[in-house]
Amino acid sequence: MDTARLKRSWNHVLRYGGQVPLFFYSTLFLTHPPVREMFPAGMSAQRDKLVGALGQVVAKVDDLEQAIPFLRQLGRDHRKFAVTPEHYPAVGQALIATLSHFLGDEWTPELEADWTAAYGLVSDVMIKAAQESTQSTPPWWNAEVVRHERRTAEVAVLTLRTDRPISYLPGQSVSVETHLRPRMWRYYSPANTARDDGIVELHVRMIDGGAVSSALVQAVAVGDVLRLGAPVGDQLTLNHKQDIVLIAGGTGLAPLKALLGQVAEEGVNRYVHLFVGARGVNELYDMPSLHAFARALPRLRVIPAVSEDHRFTGPRGPVGEVALNHGPWPDQEIYVCGSPVMVADTREMLAAAGIGADRVHFEEFSGYGGLRENVVSVLKRG
């Protein structure tokens, strides 16, 4: 398998933009009509994800050590879509047809063999991981809404109870589906550590055009049952004993709050600084809970920061800037979570202050609503 040739051909296909996913899905649904029922009625958002999904697969195909854990996680997660081994050949055929169409005269038997081998590797790893996971974990967890708190006009905190314990690491995320938006899954990070009683706390910001976030904030009620997919991600997990600085924007607070829970449970004698950013003081939606953490953890300091509200008497400005003003942070591990703009700006500030990228752990929340869907593959949709 010539991985360099794979990447060159994919870069060529990328020049056709939105035509690529449109052709792929049209081919898939025409050749395998039953597959269409696995996808949401509206496909516009899914088409945009396909190019990024294939790009991730191609980028990792020549690094098995990095690719296999990623693909195994995808295979486990895809069980919630009722994906079976029989679906993978259908996707592979549509992929080969799409590449052949856009590469034209550049499509050769050798290139077809490369892509067939690459896709075979991807599908084999995912199928095996899914089959192994079936013995130990369900494809999804049913989660009853036991509390729904509208903290602001745009933010709700949902407390769920799963039908069986769900195991995840603080900082990981789970995909969420509501019966109000069938087959549309969105990722959210639990704001608490995993519990034996199955209690999961989610922070949801309603975003413009966000069908799932709008339903979760405005329409879901106590007693409704959601579905949760398998936990994914390791960008924000805490597996060291250094002091930490947590920088949260909006509902990016959720996974960092889960890290506070881990600190409280682990008994490691570390200092923690949590900076919580919002545009206005009314958007600091979870301060009572954070103050409770501060009372329980003597080495925790919680610093709220507001960027646009002149009534606020505390630190003003972008939360990343406020965090740096409280430094320096010569040895601390730094965790950043918020909107893509907030995360990018904060990382740039940290780098300018001489803080190495190896000490900065980050995750972006799309529109402050839910985890950016960076766990993707050619079957994923949400």
- The reply to whether 378 falls in a domain is no
pLDDT, tens only, 64-78: 677 777 778 778 877
> Which range, of 31-45, 77-91, 333-347, averages the lowest pLDDT?
31-45
Indicate whether 208 and 307 sit together in one domain: no
Kindly tell me if the per-residue pLDDT of 380 is higher than 60: no
- The reply to whether 381 falls in a domain is no
Indicate whether 9 and 126 sit together in one domain: yes
- The reply to whether 375 falls in a domain is no
Indicate whether 348 and 283 sit together in one domain: yes
Indicate whether 275 and 322 sit together in one domain: yes
Kindly tell me if the per-residue pLDDT of 377 is higher than 60: no
What is the distance between the alpha carbons of residues 55 and 74, in angstroms, rounded to a whole number? 15
β-bridge pairing 244-249 and 272-278: parallel
Indicate whether 291 and 350 sit together in one domain: yes
Q: Tokens 């839910």 belong to which residue?
A: 370
* pLDDT at residue 78 in the model: 79
With 0-12 CB in 10 A as exposed, 13-18 as middle and 19+ as buried, what is 251? Answer: buried
More confident residue, 168 or 67: 168
For the chain, give the percent of residues with pLDDT over 90: 57
Q: What is the mean pLDDT of residues 83-87?
A: 86
* pLDDT at residue 53 in the model: 64
- The reply to whether 238 falls in a domain is no
pLDDT, tens only, 287-309: 999 999 999 999 999 999 999 88
pLDDT, tens only, 17-37: 888 888 988 998 899 988 887
* pLDDT at residue 369 in the model: 42
- The reply to whether 147 falls in a domain is yes
**Which CATH number belongs to the domain containing residue 9 in this structure?**
1.10.490.10
Indicate whether 118 and 173 sit together in one domain: no
Boundary-marking domain end, from 228, 259, 280: 228
Q: Residue 313: CA atoms inside 13 Å, Cβ hemisphere, count?
A: 0
**Which CATH number belongs to the domain containing residue 345 in this structure?**
3.40.50.80
**Which CATH number belongs to the domain containing residue 188 in this structure?**
2.40.30.10
Indicate whether 116 and 170 sit together in one domain: no
How many separate domains does the chain show? 3
- The reply to whether 66 falls in a domain is yes
- The reply to whether 379 falls in a domain is no
The amino acid occupying position 242 is: Q
* pLDDT at residue 379 in the model: 29
Kindly tell me if the per-residue pLDDT of 44 is higher than 80: no
Boundary-marking domain end, from 133, 152, 181: 133
- The reply to whether 239 falls in a domain is no
Indicate whether 177 and 284 sit together in one domain: no
* pLDDT at residue 374 in the model: 40
Indicate whether 259 and 323 sit together in one domain: yes
Kindly tell me if the per-residue pLDDT of 45 is higher than 80: no
Q: What is the mean pLDDT of residues 309-332?
A: 93
Indicate whether 220 and 278 sit together in one domain: no
- pLDDT confidence bin for 161, thresholds 50/70/90: very high
β-bridge pairing 300-306 and 225-228: unpaired
What is the distance between the alpha carbons of residues 155 and 56, in angstroms, rounded to a whole number? 32
Indicate whether 220 and 248 sit together in one domain: no
Boundary-marking domain end, from 99, 133, 167: 133
Residue 272 structural domain: 244-368
Indicate whether 123 and 145 sit together in one domain: no
* pLDDT at residue 132 in the model: 85
pTM of the predicted protein model = 0.81
